[in-house]
Amino acid sequence: MLFCGEFPVCVTKRLIFFKKTNHFSSKGLLFDMEYNFGNLIKVERMRKNMKQSVLARGICSISYLSKIENNQTTPSDEVLELIFERLELEVPLYYDFSEKVDQTKKEIRDILKEALLSRQEDKYFKRIEKFKTNPVVLQSKELYITLLITLARFGLTPGGNVQYLIEVGWIKDQLNKDNRLRYDLLQCLYMFLYQSADRETTVSLLENVGKELADSSIPDWEKADMRYVMGALYHRFTDYSQAIDYVKLALEYFQENFCLERIIESHMIIGLSFKRRKRYTIALEHYEKAAKVADKAKLNDYYGMLYNNMGDIYFLIGDQEKAQKYFLDSFKVKEGAKSKLYSVMSLLEVNAAKNNIEGIMEWLAIGYELKGDQDDLVEFNYHFDIYVSKYKKIDQNELIQSLKRAVNYFEAYDEYYTHKYALWLSRELRSTGKYKLATEYYEKTISMMSRWE
């Protein structure tokens, strides 16, 4: 046990008596706050890609630094000053901000709540970033972890920085139960987005989050957001029943609290899941509910997705003219190449169903122009190559090879397209007399369909 003046300092906590002098509180109270110095040092060192031996040189032993970083000991102020100087950090050692911890935490959590429920993450992210140099956050372990988890959640929104999630991983052994649930769900999202783990690993972790979420102390607004994310992930993993159940739970909170953007998105996920289960009437009902909210609230940015999804339903029930109208409307109102390319895909399908070769060639040209050389749009090469092989080159062997490449590519992360192209491939192989290989691909589609049911 170490000592600071008259009061003992526990292994990971400093107990400081506040006096009127030396900038301390005038209340004369004894505060008990778990300090953050170990986590801060570890994260900042790893951000700088600095080895422990480099940071410890001339200050302390490597083993002692390791204990500091893992919150197994509390170093002297002199040692901390030297470490912070080497890390180029300005951290208040002789002030105590215990009284400000609760208020600061509330500010961080309120910003996250407003951002997620309004779907305006870009607007609020800059406000959150300012807390990275906040002395109260740097001093308090609880606040520091709260901020890192919050930054990680922002980091997995479109255009976000996934590095924040990686940084939480560096100190994941310091997370309490609720923060571990938050981290695990973000890990699931990361593993799906970046294909860093197989389906079984991700789903297993997702199931564990689902089991523990209800009994956690996580507030209702955040549980709703987490259930929405879980539902969206289950949808992508083709477990449509789970997707519907989780998103419906989220929708209850969003409706009760008039979170209009989240209401629209929830209806779309539920609609998509019912569509995959071939419950087209129910799917269309959810799309129409979403469209009604978007219309009344003048949330025009959602029309592109809604038109495309409604077009899908009419395509599936055989009304190609109505489907094409919705797909065209979708293409016109959407912004951004990737979003428009999904409408191009739908327009290729409807023109193929109508055997409109001229229309297929027109939309292929538009698709290639939109895609350009953007690396993040490579998936569309696999889609377009199939249509080029079948309708431009009119070469069955080329088509079979294009379908094989597409199945191999999408098998890692998109069962919908894997199923679609594997089924098409099995038919092409069968027509060429390759019955054994055709059966293998057909059985692959049956396996996926059994999971969907």
Q: What is the pLDDT of residue 352?
A: 94
Q: Which residues pair with 7 in a beta bridge?
A: 4
Q: What is the pLDDT of residue 95?
A: 67
Question: Are 152 and 165 in contact, with CB atoms under 8 Å apart?
Answer: yes
Question: Are 140 and 174 in contact, with CB atoms under 8 Å apart?
Answer: no
Cα dist from 71 to 39, 199, 266, 307, whole Å: 7, 35, 42, 54
Ramachandran angles phi, psi of 92, nearest 5°: -75, 115
Cα distance between residue 412 and residue 198, in whole Å? 8
CATH class of 2-93: mainly alpha
Q: What is the pLDDT of residue 451?
A: 67
Q: What is the pLDDT of residue 452?
A: 62
**One-letter amino acid for residue 396 of the chain:** Q
Element (H, E) at 14: strand 13-17
Q: What is the pLDDT of residue 5?
A: 32
- CATH 1.10.260.40 range(s) for the chain read 2-93
* pTM check: above 0.75: yes
Q: How buried is residue 392: exposed, middle or buried, by Cβ count under 10 Å (0-12/13-18/19+)?
A: middle
Ramachandran angles phi, psi of 231, nearest 5°: -60, -45
| Regions of the chain with pLDDT less than 50 | 1-32
Q: What is the pLDDT of residue 22?
A: 34
Task: Give per-residue pLDDT as tens, 300-347.
Answer: 999 999 999 999 999 999 999 999 999 999 999 999 999 999 999 999
